[in-house]
Amino acid sequence: MLKADSITDAAARWEAETVAPVLAKAPERANLVTASNVPIERLYTPSEAEAGDYAEKLGFPGQYPFTRGVQPTMYRGRLWTMRQYAGFATADESNRRYRFLLEQGSTGLSVAFDLPTQIGYDSDDPEACGEVGRVGVAIDSLADMEALFDGIPLDKVSTSMTINATSAILLAMYVAVGEKQGVPAAKLTGTLQNDILKEYIARGTYRFPPRPSLRLTSDIFAYCTRHLPKFNTISISGYHIREAGSTAAQEVGFTLADAVCYVETALRAGLAVDDFAPRLAFFFAAHTDLFEEAAKFRAARRLYARIMRERFGAQDPRSWMLRFHTQTGGVTLTAQQPENNVVRVALQALAAVLGGTQSLHTNGKDEALALPTEAAAQLALRTQQIIACESGAASTIDPLGGSYYVEQLTDRIEREAEAYIRAIDERGGMVAAIEQGYPQREIEHSAYAFNREIDEGRRQVVGVNCFTGDAPADVPLFRVDEAATARQVERVRALRASRDDAAVRNSLSEIAAVARAGDNLLPSILTAVKAYATVGEICRVLAGEFGEYCEAFHSA
C-alpha cells in the first residue's frame, strides 16, 4: 500500500485484491455477530484522521508487514488448528490417545516423544534408564512408528512432531509409514520441530555439536523442498526459551535470531530463500499477561516480515509471513490450587487467539504435577472451543489492533527483540553467541530475577504467595504404566532378532559414508529406517562422525 493512499482507499483495495480471492476459495464462517446479534465487521481500522503511520506499522491482514495477521480473513474463514500435544508409554497406548483426541474434535496431531527417542538412545540403552515412555512415546524403530499411526490415515491429518536432535530419523520414519499406507510423501502435511539451536539455549535435548546439527537441518530443508512440499520443515521455537525463564522480548529476539541463523545456513547450503522460507514455522508460549502476550505475537510478525524482506531479500510474500503454533505456558501452572490453572490456561489461550496464532495447544490443569489425565486434556480442549465458539474473539481480525496500550507494547517488544538480534549479530551469529553462553546467560538472569520476585512477594501468584490457604484440591493424576518400559525393551530386542541384519549393517555404513562425504543424509537415513535400523543405532553412527555435544556452564 502506498503512503499517499487514504485509508479508505487502501481498505477498499485490500478487500478487492487480498480478501476477495481468499473468499472465493474459502468463504467465511456464517453468522458472525456479537452475543446481542450486532453484525461484526471483518476488520476495524482507524478513521482517516487517526490513520497516521497505520500503513507502515500495521497494514492489512495478509499483507506486509502482517502485524494484524497472516491471513486476509483470519478466523472468520477457518479457526486455528486445535492441536493437543500428546504421547506417552508405547506406540499402542499413544495411538489410542490420538484416536480419542481426533474423536473429540482435535484437528491435528502433535506427537510427544520420550527423551531417549529425542536424544537418540534405544529403550534398552543404559542411558535410557527410567526415562522410557515418560514424557512422550518411545519410538525405537519403524515398527513402533507404524503402530503409532495405525488406523490414522496420514493424508487426512496433519502431524506435528516435537523432535529435534533426531528429527531427520523420525521424519524418515513418517515418510516410510506414509508409503506403507499408500500416501506419497508429497501429500504429507505437518510440522517437524527440528529446531536444534534452542536445545543448546534452553531445552537441553541435543546430541551432536551445533555445526553438524545445522547441517542436518539444512539437509532436511533441501530434502523437504524436493519431496515433502507441504511439510513445515522447522518450527523455530521460543516456547522453551520462555519456559527457561526469558522475558517476552527475549523470547521473540532469540527465536528470530535462531531463524536468522537457519536462513543463513540454508542459503550457504545453496538453497534460494523463497524456496524454503514459506515453510519455516514458529512456536511460541502464551503466558497470562493477556495484553503483553498478544502484543508479543504482533511484534514478532512485524519484525520477522521486515527481516525476511529487507535482510534476506525474500520476494515471495509467503516468505515474509510468521506463522506460528502456540502452547500455553507450562511454567505458569501451579501445583497449589491446581483448579486455578483452568483460568490461567483460558487467559493464555485467549492471548494466543487475540495474537493471531495458527494453531494452539492448551495445557491440562494438572500438568504442574504430571502428564495430563484424559479428563484434563479434554477440558483444555474445551477451553479452546469455548473461545472459538462463544467468546467472539474469533469473529473479527486482530480485535486489539489500535489499542494505545497494545500498540505501544507491540512497538516496545519489537524494539527490544531487535536489539537482541543485533547483539547476537555482533557476537558473530547465534552459534557463536551460544558458544559464548550469551543467550543462556541472559535467560538465566531473567529467570533468577523473576523467581526472586515471586519468592519475595513482589510479584503475586494466586494460590502460591497470595490468596493461599485453601485446602489443596485432590486432583487425580495420570500415571504412565510402569510395565510399559519393560514391554518396550522387550519389543526392541525382539525387533533386532527378527530383522535382516545385513541390510541394517549396510545401511548404517552407508550413513557413515554419506556423513563423511557431506551429501544429503536423508536418503540414506530413509533406507536405514526401512530396514528397521533403530534410532539408537543410527545416532551412534552419526555421533561417531559428528561427535557429541557437552554442555557448558555460564554462571552469572
Partner 1 sequence: MSMQPTIPELVAKLAASEGTARLRPAGRLITAMVERPNAAATLVEALNGRDLPRPPLVIGFTGAPGAGKSTLVDAVTARLLERRPDLRIAILAVDPTSPFTGGAVLGDRVRMMRLALEERVFIRSLATRGQLGGVCEALPGVLAVATLWGADVALVETVGVGQSEIDIARHADMSCIVMAPGLGDGVQWLKAGLMEVGDAFLVNKCDRDGATTLHSQLLSAVESRQHAPRRRLRPAPVGMVLPQVPPVLSVSAELGQGLDDLLDILPLPAAAHH
Partner 2 sequence: MSEVKNMSPDVPTFWLPDAAPQGHPAAPVRRRILIGKPGLDGHDRGAKYVAQILRDAGHEVIYTGIRRTPEQIVAAAVQEDVDAIGLSLLSGSHNALFARVLELLRAQDAEDIAVFGGGVIPDDDVERLLALGVQAVFTPGTSAAEIVSRIEQVLSTR
Q: Which residues bind to partner 2, rule: CB under 8 A?
A: 115-116, 118-119, 121, 127-131, 134-135, 199, 203-206, 243-245, 331, 334-336, 368-371, 444, 447-448, 451-452, 455, 464-465, 477, 479-480, 551, 553, 555-556
Q: Which is nearer to partner 1, 404 or 553 (CB)?
A: 553
The distance of closest approach from Cβ of residue 31 to partner 2 in the complex, given in angstroms and rounded to an integer, is: 43
Q: Give the separation between CA 505 and CA 539, rounded to whole angstroms.
A: 14
At residue 388, what is the residue type?
A
Peptide bond preceding 439: is omega within 30 degrees of 0, i.e. cis?
Answer: no
Exposure letters 188-218 (e unless 16+ CB within 10 A, then b) = bbbbbbbbbbbbbbbbebbbbbbebbbbbbb
495 Cβ contact partners less than 8 Å away, ≥ 6 residues apart = 140, 141, 143, 532, 534
Q: Which is nearer to partner 1, 431 or 461 (CB)?
A: 431
Binding partner of residue 428 among partner 2, partner 1, none, CB cut-off 5 to 8 Å per kind:
partner 1
Q: Which is nearer to partner 1, 105 or 428 (CB)?
A: 428
Question: Which of 271, 423, 432, 447 is in the footprint of partner 1 by CB under 8 A?
Answer: 432
Give the closest residue to 291 by CA, choosing from 391, 411, 415, 405. 405
Does the protein bind partner 1 through residue 16 (CB under 8 A)? Answer: no
- CA angle at 141 for the pair 529 and 550, rounded to the nearest 5°: 90
Binding partner of residue 464 among partner 1, partner 2, none, CB cut-off 5 to 8 Å per kind:
partner 2
Q: Which is nearer to partner 1, 320 or 549 (CB)?
A: 549
Q: Which is nearer to partner 2, 130 or 270 (CB)?
A: 130
The distance of closest approach from Cβ of residue 432 to partner 1 in the complex, given in angstroms and rounded to an integer, is: 8
The distance of closest approach from Cβ of residue 465 to partner 2 in the complex, given in angstroms and rounded to an integer, is: 8
Binding partner of residue 402 among partner 2, partner 1, none, CB cut-off 5 to 8 Å per kind:
none
Does the protein bind partner 1 through residue 555 (CB under 8 A)? Answer: yes
Q: Give the separation between CA 421 and CA 413, rounded to whole angstroms.
A: 12
Binding partner of residue 498 among partner 1, partner 2, none, CB cut-off 5 to 8 Å per kind:
none
Binding partner of residue 432 among partner 2, partner 1, none, CB cut-off 5 to 8 Å per kind:
partner 1
Q: Give the separation between CA 403 and CA 547, rounded to whole angstroms.
A: 51
- At residue 453, the 3 state secondary structure works out as helix
The distance of closest approach from Cβ of residue 358 to partner 2 in the complex, given in angstroms and rounded to an integer, is: 26
Instruction: Give the interface size with partner 1 as a residue count (CB under 8 A).
Output: 11
Which residues are 360's β-sheet partners? 82, 326
Q: What is the DSSP letter of 555?
A: -
The 10 Å Cβ neighbour count of residue 476 is: 10
Does the protein bind partner 1 through residue 272 (CB under 8 A)? Answer: no
The distance of closest approach from Cβ of residue 158 to partner 2 in the complex, given in angstroms and rounded to an integer, is: 27
Q: Which is nearer to partner 2, 174 or 549 (CB)?
A: 549
At residue 14, what is the residue type?
W
**Torsions phi, psi of 284, nearest 5?**
-120, 165
What is the three-state SS of 278-327? HHEEEEEEECCCHHHHHHHHHHHHHHHHHHHHHHCCCCCHHHHCCCEEEE
Range 33-40 contact pairs with CB under 8 angstroms and sequence separation of 24 or more: 33/395, 34/392, 34/395, 35/392, 40/392, 40/395, 40/396
For 462, half-sphere exposure in the C-beta direction (CA atoms, 13 angstrom radius) is: 9
Element (DSSP H or E) covering residue 253: helix 248-268
Q: What is the DSSP letter of 473?
A: P
Q: Which is nearer to partner 2, 138 or 157 (CB)?
A: 138
Question: Which of 30, 38, 497, 550 is in the footprint of partner 1 by CB under 8 A?
Answer: 550
Binding partner of residue 368 among partner 2, partner 1, none, CB cut-off 5 to 8 Å per kind:
partner 2
Query: What does the radius of gyration of the chain's CA atoms come to, in whole angstroms?
Result: 23
Does the protein bind partner 1 through residue 428 (CB under 8 A)? Answer: yes
Does the protein bind partner 1 through residue 404 (CB under 8 A)? Answer: no
Q: Which is nearer to partner 1, 127 or 339 (CB)?
A: 127
Q: Give the separation between CA 342 and CA 350, rounded to whole angstroms.
A: 12
Does the protein bind partner 1 through residue 24 (CB under 8 A)? Answer: no
- CA angle at 387 for the pair 193 and 30, rounded to the nearest 5°: 105
Q: Which is nearer to partner 2, 222 or 484 (CB)?
A: 484
> Applying CB under 8 A, which part among 47-55, 300-308, 416-424, 545-553 lies near partner 1?
545-553
Q: Which is nearer to partner 1, 350 or 539 (CB)?
A: 539
Question: Which of 385, 436, 465, 506 is in the footprint of partner 1 by CB under 8 A?
Answer: 436
Kindly identify the residues of this chain, within the stretch 191-250, that bind partner 1 according to CB under 8 A.
209
Binding partner of residue 205 among partner 1, partner 2, none, CB cut-off 5 to 8 Å per kind:
partner 2
The distance of closest approach from Cβ of residue 351 to partner 2 in the complex, given in angstroms and rounded to an integer, is: 22
247 Cβ contact partners less than 8 Å away, ≥ 6 residues apart = 446
All three cell numbers of 139, joined, read 519410538
> Applying CB under 8 A, which part among 315-323, 329-337, 427-435, 471-479 lies near partner 1?
427-435
Does the protein bind partner 1 through residue 105 (CB under 8 A)? Answer: no
The distance of closest approach from Cβ of residue 249 to partner 2 in the complex, given in angstroms and rounded to an integer, is: 18
The distance of closest approach from Cβ of residue 434 to partner 1 in the complex, given in angstroms and rounded to an integer, is: 13
Secondary structure (DSSP) of 75-111: GGTSPPEEEEEE--SSHHHHHHHHHHHHHTT--EEEE
Q: Which is nearer to partner 1, 432 or 462 (CB)?
A: 432
Q: Which is nearer to partner 2, 243 or 414 (CB)?
A: 243
Q: Which is nearer to partner 2, 127 or 519 (CB)?
A: 127
CB 310 within 8 A of CB 263: no
Does the protein bind partner 1 through residue 423 (CB under 8 A)? Answer: no
Binding site for partner 1 (CB under 8 A): 209, 427-428, 432, 436-437, 550-553, 555
